[in-house]
Chain A
């Protein structure tokens, strides 16, 4: 997935942002297809990133990896770690 140029400018911002946002949240939504993902407004993404946990597609997602490891241990479940990074 592409990247910023060396000035730090996002290349094709609308398209790229739609792609990574759709892929990242598409994981949780079960979509994973770029075409099926809705491009997110900045406010959507920012709001999601404030919460310690969030409900996406009926699944509760934690934000803290240490807490998630403890919870996984207590519940006897494996971890599903999704790393979403801006380009």
Chain B
């Protein structure tokens, strides 16, 4: 299966590596990561103190920041910090309290309805159980909670994927610009989180409150260390639905359209008189099962299998079907009429769909 990168392999030898492939029994608080990811890396002391996180992504790409230099930086920083730390002999008996996915109130009923023990619990199911638990106890799920693990671009700066504390861009008019950050600066810590990776920066932003707040920021510029603050306004975590679209979390949100399908290619779009570069999909399923079955049943009237959907309420610039589903859930309201732009039998038409919870 190939040879390991020699430097990385040497670094690995200085750790106790463990692969987690099932979240059952996993301590969600101690080893918190972005549960929508399919790959996450954490470095930690045996007592549960997490030093660095790696593997995070934004909406642009799954692996933009998953780089060997990025991982090496996390490992080196971990070793330096670990070696400077005295492990209390009592630490092993003082593991922090465990919060497991099995502890969610929704887990038992979910398991019972399923009828059998699953072969594994996936990471993205943490989000599903957050929503299910909120529904179970009669609360509406606070939509502010979906804006999790914000990328640094949300506060106005971006970092180099190969050198993940080095700032490569600061957006004009952003909180980062107002704080005095510049391209070339190196972020040392944000919100009290010592940074070695893009994902550490995400974690610092993730654990900050979504309301108006100030986050201390320490950075280095030409060998000098400076301190400043990011001043963030109410709702700063919220983004465009496109930035949320990649997350599996979207499937559990209310107001789904109740149908979906397969993307069609540019030639077919051109044949139908659609913009070949715009997104469109051919309907090939209705959600007629489970808790959201009412959505599919409501959609089956106005929408038909084979319809090619290209717009909703005049919006025709979806970048993917994930974008369509995220946008629909985050912007349409229960009981409203959504006007679906589609092609049926070679003709463009608009049909009306009453949005279901």
Contacts and interface: CB of A to CB of B under 8 A. Distances in A.
B182 interface: no
A69 B96 CA distance: 13
A49 B47 CA distance: 25
B21 A84 contact: yes
B44 A30 contact: no
Given A3-B246, A38-B1, A78-B16, A83 B92 contact: no
Contacts of B95: 69
A27 to B, nearest CB: 7
B331 interface: no
Interface in A59-84: 59-65, 68-73, 75-84
A79 B19 contact: no
Contacts of B26: 65, 83
Contacts of B1: 25, 29, 38, 56-57
Nearest to B36: A3
Main secondary structure of the interface of A (DSSP, over half): mixed
Given A3-B124, A62-B16, A87 B43 contact: no
B285 interface: yes
B322 interface: yes
B66 interface: yes
Contact of B17 (A23, A82, A84): A82
Contacts of A57: 1-4, 9, 12
A28 B87 contact: no
Nearest to A45: B21
B175 interface: no
Contacts of A63: 18-21
B279 interface: no
Nearest to A81: B42
A64 B66 CA distance: 24
With most chain B CB atoms within 10 A of its CB, the pick from A19, A76, A81, A87 is A81
A3 B248 contact: yes
Interface of B: 1-9, 12-21, 23, 25-26, 31, 33, 37-48, 51, 55, 57, 62-63, 66-68, 71, 75, 78-79, 82, 87, 91-92, 95, 120, 122-124, 246-248, 251, 256, 260, 285, 287, 292, 321-322, 325
A77 B328 CA distance: 48
A13 interface: no
Nearest to A25: B1
A30 to B, nearest CB: 3
Contacts of B13: 59
Contacts of A56: 1
B82 A78 contact: yes
B20 A38 contact: no
B84 to A, nearest CB: 12
A20 B95 CA distance: 31
Contact of A81 (B43, B122, B124): B43
Given A1-B37, A19-B63, A72-B46, A29 B2 contact: yes
A58 B8 CA distance: 11
A19 B55 CA distance: 13
B45 A72 contact: yes
Given A5-B321, A79-B42, A79-B44, 9 more contacts: A1-B57, A6-B325, A31-B5, A32-B67, A59-B17, A81-B31, A83-B23, A84-B19, A86-B122
